Amino acid sequence: MADGAGPKHPDSIILPYRGYGNAEKLVLPGRVLRDKPMRPAREGERRWRNFIAFLKQIESDEVPWARLRARFRSVVRELRADREGYFRLELPAPRALAAGWQTVELELAGHARTRALGRVLVPSEHARFAVVSDIDDTVVQTHVMSKVRMLLTVALSNARTRKPFAGVAAFYRALEAGVNPFFYVSKSPWNLYVPLAEYLEVQGLPEGPLFLRNLGLRMPRDHKCTAIAALMKAYPRLPFILIGDSGENDPEVYADIVRRFPQRIRTIYIRSVNRAPARLAAIDGLIGEVARTGCQLVLAPDSEHAAAHAAAEGLIATSALRAVRAERRLDA
C-alpha cells in the first residue's frame, strides 16, 4: 500500500510522498486527494484491468487549498496545499536525529480522522555515497524513445507484471549495501507515484524518495537537474553515483550536474538503449568531458557490465557481482 495512508475522512485522503532529510531539516512532499482506494497489483491481472487502474491514477481528483497540520515529535507545523492539492512540508530537525526512516504525522485540519503517516529518509553517517537513478528504460524497459509504445507499456501492465532489466535489482541492492541512500528521479507524473512505489517494493529494489513531476504542465528542461542539485546541497559531504540511460537526455543532464558540482560525482552509469552512431558519438564526447573532473561516465549494455565496473572501483563487493550475474541469468 502507499506510504502512510491511515484513517481518513470519507471525502479525502492525504497521500504523503517519501521525503528526505538531514541534521538540519526534514522535507516531506505530498498531495490531498478525494478518496480513491487502489488495491495492490496482482500477478495475473488482465491487461484491460491494468488499463482501467491506469486511467484512475491519471484522472486524479485533488482537494485544492487543503489545510494540514504536521507533527514530528514536539514540532508542530500548519501548512496549506496549493490549488492542485500538492503540499511541501519543511520541518526543523531535532537534535540527535537518528538515521533511517523518520515518521511524520499528518492531519487534515478540521477533519481529525483524516490522517496519514509520512516517511522521511535521513541517511546514515556511515554512508559512502548516495545514488540517484532514473526509472524508465534504466530500471525497467519502457520504450521511452517511442511515446506510443511507452504509453501502452505503462497503461497495460502493473507493478508485478513489469519486470526490471535483468540483474538491475541485485546491482542496486549491492550499491545500497544496507547503508547508502537511493533516490529516484523520473519524468513520470506524481499521479503514478503509488504504482511506482509499489513497483520498487515488489521487485526488490532499494526503497527511496521519488522525484516526479506535475501532470499537465510542460516538462521543465531542468526537472532532473533541480532535483539532483537539491539533494547534493542537502548532503554536501556525500559523493554521488548517477544512473540513467541513453534513450533521451540523461547523459547530458548528468554532465551538466558535473559542470555545476565538480568533484561531487563519483561515477555515471548509462544503460545503452540507443545505439545509433550519432548518439554513441555524442556520449563519447561527454565521457571525455566529465573525465577531466575525475568522474567516470560508463556506457554499459547491461547491469552486469555496470556491476563489474563498480566492483573493480570498490563501489560494491566482489561477492555482490556474483549475485548480479546469477540474477541476470535467472531473469534471462
Q: With contact defined as beta carbons under 8 Å apart, do 57 and 191 qualify?
A: yes
How far is Cα 139 from Cα 166, in angstroms, rounded to an integer? Answer: 9
How far is Cα 30 from Cα 20, in angstroms, rounded to an integer? Answer: 12
| Burial class, 214, CB count within 10 angstroms (exposed 0-12 / middle 13-18 / buried 19+) | middle
Residues 164-208: tens digit of each pLDDT = 788 999 999 999 999 999 999 998 888 888 888 888 888 889 999
Every domain of the chain with CATH number 3.40.50.1000 lies at 130-331
Note the CATH architecture for domain 13-122: Sandwich (2.60)
Every domain of the chain with CATH number 2.60.40 lies at 13-122
Residue 227, helix vs strand vs coil: helix
Specify the CATH superfamily of domain 130-331: HAD superfamily/HAD-like (3.40.50.1000)
Cell numbers of 246, please?
541513453
Mean pLDDT of 292-315: 96
For residue 59, is pLDDT > 80?
A: no
Outline where DSSP puts E strands in 24-66. 25-33
How far is Cα 331 from Cα 160, in angstroms, rounded to an integer? Answer: 14
Q: Grade residue 11 by pLDDT with cuts at 50, 70 and 90.
A: confident
